[in-house]
Structure 1
Amino acid sequence: MTSLSDSRTGRFAAALRAAAQEALSFWLPIACAGCGALDVPLCPACRAQLAARPSTRRLPGGEAVLCALPFSGVVARCVRALKEEGRTGLARDLAPALAAVLTAVPPTVLVTTVPTRAAAFRRRGFVVVELLVRRAGRRPVRVLRLRRVPRDQRGLDREERRRNLAGALVARGVRGRAVVVVDDVVTTGATLAEAMRALRAAGAGPVRAVALAHTPSRRGSGGEQQMIPT
């Protein structure tokens, strides 16, 4: 959960970033985020790779998360461009796949997202998963916040991620409400599992999980190890 000062700082940073990107675009050619083809933000062939391919993955506790896409190839490159390069226009291209797995969620169900670290918000100026949910046609409500800041998840295996996130989140304002919690990319599932635990501890129910993408499973590896920007 971000503070008001964080929000103002983030908006200012986003405005500066947008101005810088506009200036750079005058000198540097636009390239497709998926394949690098020049003069187009996303070519038709790469956009076709973003069509929803829903699948179900299991969280550490055995609960299901409905995922729209595999995090590989064009999908992974587009997500990284959105998160690392601030190419927010790609959210519109990725959103239809997320909308496809949110389409069955009734309007009365509260849609929320996993909270972002304040440092990530200040760096980007926007919350990636909230942007994706809004582009998918839903209004996310912030009901989850970090009780403590966990260490960076990158490089941690499944069990290390679970321990790192245990008890890190707390929820409010959800008692008696049906909730769907959304994440952008599921790796081991520890983040979504902790979010669902916090929501239920606050009295929410039923609670379901949805994600834009999931990393490929690596059986016997103890968890997926793809480096994903946080």
Structure 2
Amino acid sequence: MTTTTASHPSFRSLARESALDAAAILLPIRCAGCGAPDRRVCPSCTRALAPRPERASVAGLPVWAGLDYDGVARRVLLAYKDGGRADLAAALASPLRAAVAAAQREYGEPSRESALLPVLIPSTRAARRRRGFHPTGSVLARAHILVPPLWGALRLTRQTADQARLGAAGRAANRTGSLAASARLRGRSCLIVDDIVTSGSTVAEAARAIQAVGGRIAGVAAIARTPRRGTAMAGATPGELGANPVVPAVP
């Protein structure tokens, strides 16, 4: 695996977030979940962030999410991604780790043959400038999962608009054809990792790009999933889904 150096984007992000964490000790802060003073995340909201990994089907892909994207989880994620609260990455690591572990359990204990390779979706230049870090990558770096991601496995072929402002059809059009995958993914069993899964257009495009270079799609692991979007898949198994499912177009 690639060794992290001072020039690596993840190193710079972690250094920046460490500085923000240190500043948060000196500056007044409030709980991102409820607004209680002097806490990044208060004990009550920490309990609300306890992972409850569930499997669903989104855009034809199996998705394991640590949390539902509502209530405390939604407020903390919004503060983390768009409120300048990079210090919240550690609080979100447990839900993401639980989602990755749940996905891996479906494929057996990790070994050279069965370990799933985490693949991160890249941020746009505008999002990276605005935030100063990669939200999913920063949380994953704190999740201490067994298999590290292959950094740069996906790249943007064009800059896309902010998905939050688009409807389902607009999200699909915005993402279609926007990603390309590294040939290093050929023959690998890949687990797409994202922060929030909503319509599924982003992860569907990631799956298309990975399959185009001969990678296998195990599914998606996310910190949270928008509850109204997915349909539960109780009792389904990877064998029933197929080792390399065809990803349909997102309506």
Tell me the TM-score normalized by structure 1: 0.81
**What's the secondary structure of 1:82's corresponding residue?**
helix
Q: Which amino acid aligns with 1:50?
A: L
Aligned to 2:31: 32
Contact 2:124 2:160 in 1 (8 A): no
Contact 2:210 2:217 in 1 (8 A): no
Contact 1:11 1:125 in 2 (8 A): no
Contact 2:198 2:229 in 1 (8 A): no
**What's the secondary structure of 2:211's corresponding residue?**
helix
Q: Which amino acid aligns with 1:148?
A: R
Q: How far is the alpha carbon of 1:25 from its aligned partner?
A: 6.4
Contact 2:68 2:224 in 1 (8 A): yes
- The within-5 A match list for 1:62-211 is 62-104=60-102, 105=104, 106=110, 108-138=115-145, 139-142=148-151, 143-172=153-182, 173-211=184-222
Percent identity (aligned): 40
Q: Which amino acid aligns with 2:212?
A: A
Q: Which amino acid aligns with 1:203?
A: G
Contact 1:6 1:118 in 2 (8 A): no
> What is the rounded CA distance, in whole Å, between the counterparts of 2:141 and 2:55 in structure 1?
22
In structure 1, runs of 5+ residues without a counterpart are 220-230
Moved over 6 A (4+): none
Q: Which amino acid aligns with 1:170?
A: A
**What's the secondary structure of 1:140's corresponding residue?**
coil
> What is the rounded CA distance, in whole Å, between the counterparts of 1:217 and 1:112 in structure 2?
25
Contact 1:6 1:122 in 2 (8 A): no
**What's the secondary structure of 2:221's corresponding residue?**
strand
> What is the rounded CA distance, in whole Å, between the counterparts of 2:222 and 2:17 in structure 1?
30
Aligned to 2:50: 51
Q: Which amino acid aligns with 2:133?
A: F
RMSD of aligned alpha carbons: 2.9
Tell me the TM-score normalized by structure 2: 0.75
Q: How far is the alpha carbon of 1:183 from its aligned partner?
A: 0.5
Change (3 A) 1:102 1:169: same
Q: Which amino acid aligns with 1:214?
A: R
Q: How far is the alpha carbon of 1:89 from its aligned partner?
A: 2.6
In structure 2, runs of 5+ residues without a counterpart are 1-5, 105-109, 231-251
Contact 1:110 1:178 in 2 (8 A): yes
How many residues in Structure 1 have an aligned counterpart in Structure 2? 212
Q: How far is the alpha carbon of 1:85 from its aligned partner?
A: 2.8
Q: How far is the alpha carbon of 1:122 from its aligned partner?
A: 2.0
Q: How far is the alpha carbon of 1:218 from its aligned partner?
A: 6.5
